[in-house]
Each structure stands twice: as C-alpha cells, then as structure tokens.
Structure 1
Amino acid sequence: MTAPPAGSSASDTKLDAAVLKIASVVVLGAIMSILDVTVVSVALPTFMSEFQASYATVAWTMTGYTLALASVIPLTGWAADRFGTKRLYLTALVLFVAGSVLCSLAWDVTSLIGFRVLQGFGGGMLMPLGMTIMTRAAGPQRVGRVMAVLGIPMLLGPIGGPILGGWLIDVASWHWIFLINLPIGAVALITAFVVLPKDSPKKSESFDFVGMLLLSPGLALFLFGVSSLPETGTAASARVLVPGIVGVALIAAFVYHAVRTDHPLIDLRLFKNRQLTFAVLTMTVFAIGFFGAGLLFPSYFLQVHGETTLMAGLLLAPQGLGAMLTMPIAGQLVDRIGPGKIVLVGLVLIIAGMSVFTQVGVDTGYPLLLGALFVMGMGMGCTMMPTMTAALQTLTDHSIARGSTLMNIVQQAAGSIGTATMSVILTSRIIAPEGAPEGTTGQPDAEMLAQLPPEVQQSVLGSLADAFGDTFLVAMLVMVVALIPAAFLPRTKSAQPTDPTAVSMH
C-alpha cells in the first residue's frame, strides 16, 4: 500500500491527487454496497405483494444480507494483510455483483434471501477494505478528511437509494434494483484494477482458524436469534433463545481465546486504546438507535401516508442533504479540534430531529417531517464518520486493518440489533381497532386498507401512526444514551502514534 511521504508533517492535511484517485475507486464500491441496503428498504412492501409473504418474512432480505456482512467482516483484517487489499477488494466486488445478478433471478422469497446472503459476503468486505486502503494511503494525520470522503456513500445512500429504488420499481420492476449493480460493478472492477496500488501482502501472521470458527458463527447465530424477534414476537421463543445463547457462548469463547493468542482474528488488545474503546461504545449505541429507526422512515411514508415507493424515496432525501452539508465540514474540524465536540453536537441534532417523529400522526405535515429529517441528516454528518475517525486516528499502519474491521463489525452488529428491536416494538404496538376484520393486526398494505370502510381505515392508520411514534420514541431515548460514551471522546487534536507499540498505550 502507498503510505504518506516520510517528510509529511501533521499540519499537511490536504489530500493530494494520488489519494483522491484511490478515494474515487473506494467510494464507488462503497456506494454500490450501501445503495443496495437503502434501495431494498423501499422494496419490502413490493416483496410482500410479489411473494405473498409477511413483513417479518421479507425483512429477512435485509437481515440475511446483514448477517452475511457480520460473519465475513472478521476475516477481512487478516485477509487484507495476508493476500493484499487490492486482490481482496476485487474479489469482494465480484462476489457482490454475482450476488446482485442472482437476486434479480430469484423465483421466491427464500431464494431471494439466499442470494442476498451471497451478496452480503461481498458487501461485507467492501467498507472495511475501503477504510483500510484509504487510511493507509493518506496517513493518520489526514484520517478526518479521509473519513469525510468515505462518508460520501453515507450521503448518497439515504438520498439516492430510496429514490432510485422507488423509481426502478415504479417504471420497471423490482428485479432492476439488483441489476443496476451490474454496470456500476463493472466500472468499479476496472477502475480498481487500474488505480489501486500493487499489493504487498504479509506472510508473517498465521491465520486464527480457531477464532474464525468461534467468532463468525457466533456473530451469525446471535444476530439470527435477535433478528427472529419480529417474527416470533417474544424473546422466549426457542427460535430466538437457542441461536442467541449459542451465539453469545461462542463470542464469549472467542474473547477468552483472543486474549491468549498472539495473532487473533480480532485483536482485542486494541481496547487498551482508551479513545478507541469510547469510540466503539459510541458507535454501538448510535447504530442501534439510528439504523433501527432508519428502516422505519420509508415504511411510515408508504403505510401511513400511502405514498408510492418513488415518493417515499424522495421524501427521505432531506436526511441525505443535511448530511451532505455537515459531513465535509465535520471531517476538516476533526483533524483540527478532535472528534469529541463534533460528535456531541451531531447526537443532539439527531435527538432533536427524531423527537418530531415521536409525535407523528396520520395528518402530520410534510414541512415539519422533512425539516426533522434534514436536522437528523446534519446530525448524522457530524456523528458517524467522526466517531470512526476517533477510533482510527491513533492507530499505526499495522493496526489500521484490524481497527477498521472491529469498527465495521460493531456498526453492522449494532445496526442489526437496532433494526430487529425496533421492528419488534413496532409490531407489538400495532393494535387492530374495533370494527377491523381479522387479519388487520399486522402492518396493513394498500390493498387491505382499500377493502375497509373509511372510518375503519382512519382508525387503522391512526393506530399505525401511534405505533410508529412509540417506536421512534424508543430510538430517540437510545440516542440520548449515546451521549454518555461520546462525552469521553477527545476534544482536542490527537497526537499521532509514531511507533507500533504506541497504539495500545494511548
């Protein structure tokens, strides 16, 4: 990998042309994987109708993807060192595109979920690899700016994903939300092959097979149990408890193993770094609340307001626009004044915006809702990538791949827990009003509502709006809790480590 020039100073924080060229390649791959999450989020009602399946069942098209992401991320740090980031990045792109094409050919919801898992194996490696490639290319003194560049997919996902997904579903069919990845993936493959620097893989570290056999299945089983909550409706179900308990046991066994081996799959010694520890805690709580609520916004517009998929996507655009405004500024400020103050401001903005959604009703005005989404987007731009920066800016070259892998595991696992939890809360809060026929206790679709008398329709929608409001309230309270670890993030510019042993002592 290309490293920063030996003579570069900490004050030299401009990203040069070579780094920007690498950034453009990395961002292209990341955009593709993140767009796919948000594109599918607006397609869930379409899958319900197309495959005659319940919301809890089609939600596995999201959950299966996330489970695959979580299970493959632990391998990425070691594989990046062993085989080289360029080769691994190209392999991840091929897997992702192949999975996308297969998803477009799915004949039922089971096959779609299976192909989404394959797609997730590729997508799970793209973001941690991109972070590793970018951080190594730019050097630690420019991590804030690098994270701002990598934040571009985070902006385009909320803006472009729902709009693109809604448009493709309206004018063509759901198959095209996956086929669109074929031309984008082809461009990403060619540019990555040409632009990314030649690999220099290391052969010094042996692969932690024991760690892999403990952590990857452990994460997958635990998240499977948690993600089954919306379908079972109770944590007492064997489908939740058995994989959940086995998963926790495997993860605990991995922790015991990791602190006793020289080259563990995930280096838990990184937690000796106080700054990284608080960044991990902040990211965990933030991801549970923010991503848990994020899945519900398109469903609210689709189901309560009866919008089309395209309009639901357009209505989510202010969130991305808000992030677009603040993320580049936050990236520059992190390098100058540290991440602590910026993350706290971001969390307060998210809490303020989400508080509006705790009061939603059937007739809540769009100006208020769109303004709240814009404020939340501004908060996200000040929170997510600065928290990543706080974790990575004190790491040396040797530790960057492991640190970025750790942060991505945390983000994906916490996001999965958040979406499952919020789905359970939403489902549990939906109560069929008096006069509604049997079968309207779940989340109603437009076809079901059309068959009800007008007064019952309003009652059903009112109940559904209240359920969304209660769920958003829980998500907002989780964001309030995130303020606690965020308060311990550094509020001054961090000194950069100059020695590999320094990483565990900061």
Structure 2
Amino acid sequence: MSSNLSRLVAVVLLGGMLGILNSTMVAVGIDALAAAFGTSLSAIGWVSTGFLLAVTAAIPVTSWAVDRFGARRLWLFGLLVFLAGSLGAGLAWDTGSLIAFRAVQGLGAGVLDPLVLTLLARAAGPHRAGRVMGLMGVVLSLGPVLGPLTGGALLQAFSWKWMFLLNVPVGVVAYLLALRVIPADDPPAGRRARLDVTGVALLAPGFVALMLALSQAAEQVAFGVWQVLVPLAAGVALLGGYGLHARRGEPLIDPRLFARRSFSAAVVVMGLVGLATFATLFALPLYFRQVHGVGALAAGMLVAPVGAGAAVAMPLAGRLSDRLGARGLALGGAAVAVVSGLAFTQVGPGTGWAWPVVAGCAMGLGLGFVGAPTMGSLYRLLPAPLIPQGSAVLYMLNQLGAALGIAVVTLIVQTAGDPLGGMRGVFWFALAMVTVILAAVPLLPGCPAPQARAVTERVGSG
C-alpha cells in the first residue's frame, strides 16, 4: 500500500471512528445522564435513539450529495456538524437540549459513516478493495467494544460531559488532517443530478420509522404493541411508496442495484453480520453480569475478545480476498462462526470464563473472515458511479441488522423465565443467524480481483 493511500486511510478512519465510538460510548452512561438531569431512563434513552434516527435520516441524502458537492467537501462538512453537536451536547443544560444536540451529532455521523466506505473504495480501486475494507472492518469491530470501555473510564475519572467534549479536540485534529490529506474531487462540470426530493421524503423517513419500530420493540419488550406496529406500518408504506416512485426519473437510490446478484448477496450478508455481531456483543455482557455476577467494567473486558478477534481477522481476510476472492474465505469464516455459536449454546452456571471468552474470540474471527471479503467484493464489482449508492444501502442495512439484533435479544432476555434461559435463547438465535450467513455466502462472487475486474469492465454488473 502506497504512503499516500496509507495516510488517506488513517485520516479517514480517524474521522469515521468518532461516530462509531460515540454511539457505543454513551450506552454505558445512560444511568449517569438520567441522574445528572433528574429524569427517567426511558426519557434519557432518546439521547441514543435520537442519535440513531438522525444517522439513518442523513445516510440516503449523502449518496446524492457526494456527486453534487464532492466527497472532500462533504467529509469536511460532516466533521463540522459532528463537532458542533459534540460541543453542544457537552454543554447541554437539560434533557431536551442534550437530545437535540445528539441529533445534530447523528446528522454529522450520518454523513461521515457512508463516506468512509466511499472514500476508501475510490482510493483503493478494485485491486486493493479487500485490504482497505479490512482496515475499515477493524474500526467497525472495535468500536462496539472500545466505546463502552472508554465511556466507563471517562465516567469514573471525569464528568459525563467528557463523553461528548472528548470528540472536540480529536475532531479538530481529524478536520485539519483531512484538509491536508484528502484530495480535492470537485464534481464534474455540466449537468448535475437534481436532488430527488420525493425520494428523500419517502426513503429517509421510511428507514427512520423502521429504526424507531425496532428501538421501541427493545424498549417495550414486545413486537405486537402499537408503539412498534405504528412506525413499522409507516416504514413499510413509505418504503413501498419509494419503490413505486423509483421506477421513474433519477431516484435517490436505484432499486435496480438489487438486480445484481453479487450486490444483493453482499448487502444481505453484511446485514446479517451486523445482526449476529450486535446480538453477541449485547448478550455476552449480560451473561457475565447476570450469571457470573461481574461488574460492568469487567464484563466489558471479558467481551473485548469478540472485537479483538474481528480486528485481527479483517485485515488479513481483506488482503487475501484481493487474490482469492470472497466466497471461499467467507465460507470458512461462517463455518467457524457456526461452531462458535454452537459452543455458546452449551454454557451454564458452572461454565468458567475461558469457554465463552474463547468462543467470543472465535466468533469475532469467523465474522471478520465473512465481513471484510464481503465488503471488498461489493466495491470490487460495482461500477464507480454506483459506489456512493452502494455505500448508503450497505450501511443502512447493517444498521437495521444491528437494531434488529438488539431488539430480538432484549425480547428474548426479558421474556425468559431466568437469566440463564434467556442467555441460552439468545445464543441459539445468534447460532441461527450465522447458519443463515453460511447458507447465503455461496451467492458471493468467487473469482479473484483481476477476474472480477474483467467481468465488471465487460458487463458493468455483478
């Protein structure tokens, strides 16, 4: 990898890490925030929900804005919005202002997150897509683990404000480095695509409604209540309306992307990877705390091997996929994840810490060998003009998968008769998800990068 590309990757990942870490960091501080503002946990929960909904709303528009304004300008704008939201959240004076500033943070993160994938894919090209996506996977894997650990450490040493104010100096450094390293990419002169206003009015609220339905399912511990069914019905109706609208004109995201088998397989597999990963990361701390009685910080440290396993696997798997293709590596990774999931279903009160820790590391390794080659295959086979749309779809479905995983885990745990029974139910659910991944992986492209590029040049599709 050239020195210029290495610097670009480092700078982009630094900015991209801000939103990923902050979204998980705040999760450990919800009770501290409720105490600081003298409000209920359900009310303060909108600090996280508002952030997540704002991220989801911003992602579809980002795919259009990349071509309209250029990736560099949009990246710098996203950093500024995120920094403004972080500063405001750190200085918030009541619950309402904190939720509002967290929504501003979410809008910034919704610009940055899909742009990470777009910038890296464009810079790497088809030959190096796997290795660069593997590095991106390290951030995605370690974020959910390092976030709670960082948040816990900050809460122990400082005020809750520093969960947000810490982003300011880091974000300023990321902004200054981006000014120097990210190359200018002014949009081409001539006709520029107009914003699909109708598409924005249907697609963004549709995904927001689905995310709200899943968040409410986790909060209400049920799927059949009006708090879930109303936004779910609204989301399905809006997305259905978008599907009809997208048949005409220049849609915000072209549904014909899904006619490409390789694209459909890749985004479905990545959605399932997000679901299985967050189900595991959400369930393991509960297992260690409820069954073994350890503290929050110890539980976070015991679950860290999941992220560490993925962080080790993704760069290696991504580099190998540039030469070997995605299918074989992902099949091997999915098989390891299935064995790990099976091991989790056998835990009990007498099970020591070593078994779930090793199984967690194996799960991270297995899903890492699925994730990096899958992302690399998507960007290797998509024509360059469709990369922003592909990034938006991939990130939205991965977010939906993560939210669905958390909602299902919460439902299983809360409706079980005892903590151990709930944990075993969750682990059986995770096993089912990685088994579905194993079944879906054969649909991924199997040819190495040079052959895949030749296919792309000849037919322009996966």
Q: 1:45–1:78: structure 2 CA closer, same or farther, 3 Å change rule?
A: same
Of 463-472 and 374-383, deviating more is 463-472
Which residue number corresponds to residue 476 of structure 1?
Answer: 431
1:164 and 2:150 correspond: yes
Q: Which amino acid aligns with 1:293?
A: T
Q: Which amino acid aligns with 2:430?
A: A
Q: Is the 8 A contact 2:142 2:307 kept in 1?
A: yes
- Structure holding more helix per residue: 2
TM-score normalised according to structure 2 size: 0.91
Which residue number corresponds to residue 440 of structure 1?
Answer: none
Structure ID, larger Rg: 1
Q: Map Cα deviations across residues 145-175 of structure 1 (whole Å, 9 max, x no partner).
A: 1112222312432453232122112222333
- What RMSD over aligned residues (CA atoms) do the two structures have, in Å? 2.5
Q: Map Cα deviations across residues 258-278 of structure 1 (whole Å, 9 max, x no partner).
A: 1222x2111222222221111
Q: Is the 8 A contact 1:39 1:162 kept in 2?
A: yes
- Distance in 2 (CA, whole Å) between partners of 1:473 and 1:32 is 33
Q: 1:86 deviation in Å?
A: 0.8
Q: 1:345–1:143: structure 2 CA closer, same or farther, 3 Å change rule?
A: same
Q: 1:72 deviation in Å?
A: 1.0
Which residue number corresponds to residue 207 of structure 1?
Answer: 195
Residue 31 of structure 1: SS of its match in structure 2? helix
Q: Which amino acid aligns with 1:243?
A: P
Q: 1:425–1:503: structure 2 CA closer, same or farther, 3 Å change rule?
A: farther
Q: Is the 8 A contact 2:148 2:300 kept in 1?
A: yes
Q: 1:348–1:65: structure 2 CA closer, same or farther, 3 Å change rule?
A: farther
Which residue number corresponds to residue 97 of structure 1?
Answer: 83
Of 337-346 and 419-428, deviating more is 419-428
1:39 and 2:25 correspond: yes
Q: Is the 8 A contact 1:83 1:201 kept in 2?
A: yes
Which residue number corresponds to residue 296 of structure 1?
Answer: 283
Q: 1:109 deviation in Å?
A: 5.1
Which residue number corresponds to residue 449 of structure 1?
Answer: none
Q: 1:337 deviation in Å?
A: 1.1
Which residue number corresponds to residue 49 of structure 2?
Answer: 63
Which residue number corresponds to residue 419 of structure 2?
Answer: 464
Percent identity of the aligned residues? 37
Question: For structure 2, which runs of at least 5 residues remain unmatched after alignment?
Answer: none
Q: Counterparts of 1:5-84 in structure 2 under 5 Å?
A: 15-47=1-33, 59-84=45-70
Q: Which amino acid aligns with 2:217?
A: L
Q: Counterparts of 1:364-443 in structure 2 under 5 Å?
A: 364-429=351-416, 431=417
- Distance in 2 (CA, whole Å) between partners of 1:400 and 1:502 is 18
TM-score normalised according to structure 1 size: 0.84
1:315 and 2:302 correspond: yes
- Distance in 2 (CA, whole Å) between partners of 1:491 and 1:477 is 24
Q: Is the 8 A contact 1:338 1:491 kept in 2?
A: yes
- Distance in 1 (CA, whole Å) between partners of 2:295 and 2:157 is 12
Q: Is the 8 A contact 1:293 1:419 kept in 2?
A: no
- Distance in 2 (CA, whole Å) between partners of 1:228 and 1:475 is 21
Q: Map Cα deviations across residues 311-370 of structure 1 (whole Å, 9 max, x no partner).
A: 233222212221232222101111111111111222222233333433444553221221
Q: Is the 8 A contact 2:129 2:322 kept in 1?
A: yes
Q: Is the 8 A contact 1:270 1:504 kept in 2?
A: no
Q: Is the 8 A contact 2:138 2:315 kept in 1?
A: no
Q: Which amino acid aligns with 1:301?
A: F
Which residue number corresponds to residue 448 of structure 1?
Answer: none
- Distance in 2 (CA, whole Å) between partners of 1:424 and 1:127 is 28
